[in-house]
Structure 1
Amino acid sequence: MSNILVLNAGSSNVKFAAFRAGAALHETARGKVEGTGAAAVVEQLERSGALRDLAGVGHRLVHGGPRHTAPALVTPELMVELEELKALDPTHLPAELELIEAVAARCPGVPQVACFDTGFHRDLPAIARTLPIPRRYLEQGVRRYGFHGLSYEYLLAELERIAGAEAAHGRVIFAHLGSGSSLAAVRNGTCVDTTMGFTPTGGLVMGTRSGDLDPGVLVHLMRSEGLGAEQIDALINRESGLRGLSGTSSDLRFLLANEDKDPRAAEAVAVYCYQVRKWIGAMAAALGGLDTLVFSGGIGENAPEIRARICAGLSFFGVQLATQANAAGAPVVSARIAPVVVRVIPTDEELTIARAAQRLLPATPPAEGTREWSTRSRTPC
């Protein structure tokens, strides 16, 4: 058994990738399974052949809480602890845990590894992670955690590979821009601040998420419209952002294509670019300057017009794009004379998870009765 399967569960689908284990992981398959029911997802994965010859399975878990900051083998004890964290992340964690259990039932004895999106931000300084609320809530784990950490871990490693240790340990801002968008400020290889906070809803405006919002707005809506918790959750996570601003779509490509004839689409694009630019300034302040800016994610990698609009207002602290390089999506899109190097680096969360899983997988399959998380099944993988 030599395959590592990676499962990246989202709100409406599960992305998967398969890798042949070895000194250098070799990707053999990648795809997406639509649907949210864990059992149905596992059935589709089985039909696709993704469950064959498994050495292990790695999972992206959005939230690890204050304790779980490094990848870990899934055990009964870990599952109990993660069940207790559901209140911190009711949107993602329940479905992610159900998927782990479904895989265990289908593939008994196959080790599973949990990789936490919050882990990259584990060393956030107290001033960056602390929320200005009564301390009794801080003691309950209500604080800024940060997300997209598996993407940032990959990007930091790639930056060091292609540009060297000096660049990777300088003052770097990573911009993971997609349907979910965030920035991370990294100095000496450590995250010192990030835009997302207690949940992935915070920070930048996103496809359907509001980003940071005056809490008084929510209090007003609760009073004026009688909105409850579930309605507020739907409002800020599924009805806001680019979709809410434009009234038509959360897809930035669609909005760009229609901005000349639709003022709401144009405004949505302008708000997005403005907020990214503003947050880059904030992250640069947290770093005490800026050496490297990295664009990644579906928007960051593939939308040169958005990169240009974001960077157009940043020349005052050394960001200047090379027009032709940016239009072509070159690896380096900054002008040669610019003090700040601007790069485009495609991210790969699944490879990050596969690497972590391979490091933690036992050299031999676990014996009957060991404490790796598994349940019996009539059909072993």
Structure 2
Amino acid sequence: MGKILVINSGSSSLKFALFDTVGPVDSGPSSSVHALVKGQFSGLGTDRYDVSMTRHKSGISAVSPGSAPDHHAAVASLLIWLERQGLLDDIVAVGHRVVHGGQHFHQATQLDGQKVALLEALTPLAPLHQPYSLAPIKILGERLPELVQIACFDTAFHAHQPLEAKQFALPYAMFDRGFQRYGFHGLSYDYITRRLPTVIPDFNHDASVIVAHLGNGASLCAIQAGTSLASTMGFTALEGLPMGTRCGSIDAGLVLHLIAQEGMTTDEVATLLYKESGLLGLSGISSDMRALLNSDRPRAQQAVTHYCYRIAREIGSLSAALGGLDHIVFTAGIGEHAAPVREQVAAHCQWLGVDLDGEANQANQSCISSTTSRVGAWVIPTDEEQVIAEDCLTMYQKTLTH
């Protein structure tokens, strides 16, 4: 049976997962995928680099790839490890998480040089993500040019939002040039959407759902009948909620003021908005929610209060876009593990009919809403690598039929 390698590359990390196909890769819809092993190179580009592994009863050797100081070394180390395990020749395709697909890419896509160039041109729209998404693609293309590489896009899930949800109130010609709201975290939202019928009893496929992807990057998505209707992120991954170090939505006039009146350069403003703001900027302590929840310093507590307030305000906005709310789902690192954050957000949303079961919430159970809550509240771990592998298999099967 063929295997699929998934790579999810970030600015200082490279996650990887090896999936086996259940059934031959050419068996069409009967094929599915399950993880054999997952791992992560962390601290890339720093002096604290390391590697960690998780196995899924795969029988794969306990010897993991060696740690690596940068992305090139991480990919090289991974390839050497796969070869030593006798797995490299079994890989039929590599699936990559690519943050921005722009106007061109609305579904999983097999890559070639021309498509990589189109994706590289989108780097100004996602400067903290796109270069690192593309780095492993280029490295593998040089080392194994015959290997099928498939890109899966964070923007694709939102591509079919209504026009009014994607527009800015700018001259219309600018929309045609690509100045629009794209939305991100789409692979996470796609995974959660696929999981809802298996988690929520008697799930109505036409239900109105808000998914809160709360990690170091954070956003919300309004989903109805499995389709994205609106999202808090827009032209870039800076808009919307405050995040670990990103400010979220901000008055554009303030940015102009910083440049025109404070004399800041565009690079300095970018550093401020992307790397020095959010929870880190508000608290002056940390971008890590765990550290803030464990702190008794007033600024830490206020940062958490502001964060939850902004989430609740956006939930109200997205509920209006949906015309009501049936379920709210919390996912990603903070969403899955920070019970106090979920509690504060739910308290703000009581007017919508959200009522938590305190014990279930503290225990991070799957269903955290009370029996009398009009809105279901859920905690569902996300798995971007799984959805990439599934889409990668589907895409690869299409290449076999052409």
* Fold equivalence (TM over 0.5): yes
Asked whether the 8 Å contact 2:95–2:150 carries over to 1, the reply is yes
User: CA shift at 1:191, angstroms?
Assistant: 0.9
User: CA shift at 1:198, angstroms?
Assistant: 0.5
How big is each residue's C-alpha offset from its partner over 1:321-349, in whole Å with a ceiling of 9 and x where there is no partner? 01111111111100111110111100000
- Sequence identity (%): 41
Q: 1:254 is paired with a residue of what secondary structure?
A: helix
Q: 1:191 is paired with a residue of what secondary structure?
A: strand
Q: 1:82 is paired with a residue of what secondary structure?
A: helix
How big is each residue's C-alpha offset from its partner over 1:236-256, in whole Å with a ceiling of 9 and x where there is no partner? 111100000111100011001
Q: Distance in 2 between matches of 1:106 and 1:265?
A: 47
Task: Name the residue aligned to 1:28.
Answer: 36
Q: Distance in 1 between matches of 2:225 and 2:293?
A: 37
Cα separation, partners in 2 of 1:320 and 1:164, compared to 1, 3 Å: closer
Cα separation, partners in 2 of 1:313 and 1:95, compared to 1, 3 Å: closer
Asked whether the 8 Å contact 1:63–1:118 carries over to 2, the reply is yes
User: CA shift at 1:364, angstroms?
Assistant: 8.7
Q: Distance in 2 between matches of 1:82 and 1:74?
A: 10
User: CA shift at 1:151, angstroms?
Assistant: 0.3
Task: Name the residue aligned to 2:389.
Answer: 354
Task: Name the residue aligned to 2:156.
Answer: 119
Q: Distance in 1 between matches of 2:308 and 2:120?
A: 38
Q: What is the identity, as a one-letter code, of the residue corresponding to 2:82?
A: G
Q: What is the identity, as a one-letter code, of the residue corresponding to 1:28?
A: L
How big is each residue's C-alpha offset from its partner over 1:60-95, in whole Å with a ceiling of 9 and x where there is no partner? 000000121100111233223223333333332233
Q: Distance in 1 between matches of 2:261 and 2:352?
A: 44
How big is each residue's C-alpha offset from its partner over 1:5-47, in whole Å with a ceiling of 9 and x where there is no partner? 1111112111111111223312111111232654222123234
Does the alignment pair 1:192 with 2:225? no
Asked whether the 8 Å contact 2:325–2:375 carries over to 1, the reply is yes
Task: Name the residue aligned to 1:146.
Answer: 183
Does the alignment pair 1:249 with 2:254? no
Q: Distance in 1 between matches of 2:77 and 2:102?
A: 30
Asked whether the 8 Å contact 2:357–2:368 carries over to 1, the reply is yes
Q: 2:116 is paired with a residue of what secondary structure?
A: helix
Pick from 264, 268, 277 the counterpart of residue 227 of structure 1.
264
Task: Name the residue aligned to 2:58.
Answer: none
Q: Distance in 2 between matches of 1:98 and 1:10?
A: 10
Task: Name the residue aligned to 1:307.
Answer: 342
Q: What is the identity, as a one-letter code, of the residue corresponding to 1:107?
A: L
List alignment gaps of at least 5 residues for structure 1. 371-381
User: CA shift at 1:140, angstroms?
Assistant: 1.4
Cα separation, partners in 2 of 1:364 and 1:219, compared to 1, 3 Å: closer
> Number of paired residues?
365
Pick from 333, 337, 341 the counterpart of residue 376 of structure 2.
341
Asked whether the 8 Å contact 1:33–1:45 carries over to 2, the reply is no
After superposing on structure 2, the runs of 4+ consecutive aligned residues of structure 1 that deviate more than 6 Å are 363-366
Q: 1:157 is paired with a residue of what secondary structure?
A: helix
Which 10-residue stretch deviates more, 237-246 or 44-53? 44-53
User: CA shift at 1:295, angstroms?
Assistant: 0.6
User: CA shift at 1:363, angstroms?
Assistant: 8.1
Q: 1:273 is paired with a residue of what secondary structure?
A: helix
Residue pairs, 1:271-290, within 5 angstroms:
271-290=306-325
Residue pairs, 1:9-158, within 5 angstroms:
9-22=9-22, 23-34=31-42, 35=44, 37-49=70-82, 52=88, 53-158=90-195
Cα separation, partners in 2 of 1:364 and 1:60, compared to 1, 3 Å: closer
User: CA shift at 1:99, angstroms?
Assistant: 1.8
Q: Distance in 1 between matches of 2:267 and 2:202?
A: 46
**Relative contact order: is structure 1 or structure 2 higher (C-alpha 8 Å, sep ≥ 6)?**
1
Which 10-residue stretch deviates more, 188-197 or 159-168? 159-168
List alignment gaps of at least 5 residues for structure 2. 23-30, 46-69
Q: Distance in 2 between matches of 1:314 and 1:98?
A: 42
How big is each residue's C-alpha offset from its partner over 1:175-229, in whole Å with a ceiling of 9 and x where there is no partner? 1111111000011211111100101111000000000001111111112332222
Give me the CA root mean square deviation. Answer: 2.0
Which 10-residue stretch deviates more, 40-49 or 203-212? 40-49
Q: Distance in 2 between matches of 1:246 and 1:99?
A: 35
TM-score (norm 2): 0.86
Q: What is the identity, as a one-letter code, of the residue corresponding to 1:8?
A: N
